[in-house]
């Protein structure tokens, strides 16, 4: 397990501006993951809907 944590990639959530770390459940979709949580994803979507309307 040596160096395991250091190998985890990190992204910054565009909604809450917080860095979030790779999780095992994202291993197949990591390239598509943009938000730290479903809550942020939903928030982003809501904002874009308001913009379009
Ligand atoms: Zn977030």
Contacts of 15 (CB under 8 A, 6+ apart): 35, 36, 40, 41, 43, 44
Q: How far is ligand 1, taken at its centre, from the CA of residue 46, in Å?
A: 14
Q: How far is ligand 1, taken at its centre, from the CA of residue 22, in Å?
A: 13
Closest CA to 21 of 9, 30, 32: 9
pTM (predicted TM-score): 0.69
Q: How far is ligand 1, taken at its centre, from the CA of residue 5, in Å?
A: 21
If you search the block for the tokens 């308001």, which residue do you land on? Answer: 50
Q: Where do runs of H (alpha helix) occur along the chain?
A: 38-52
* pLDDT tens track for 1-53: 565 556 899 999 999 999 999 999 999 999 999 999 999 999 987 776 666 65
């Amino acid at each position: 397990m040596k160096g395991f944590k250091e190998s985890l990639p990190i992204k910054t959530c565009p909604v809450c501006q917080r860095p979030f770390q790779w999780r095992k459940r994202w291993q197949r979709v990591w390239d598509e993951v943009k938000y730290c949580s479903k809550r942020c994803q939903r928030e982003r979507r809501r904002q874009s809907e308001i913009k379009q309307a």
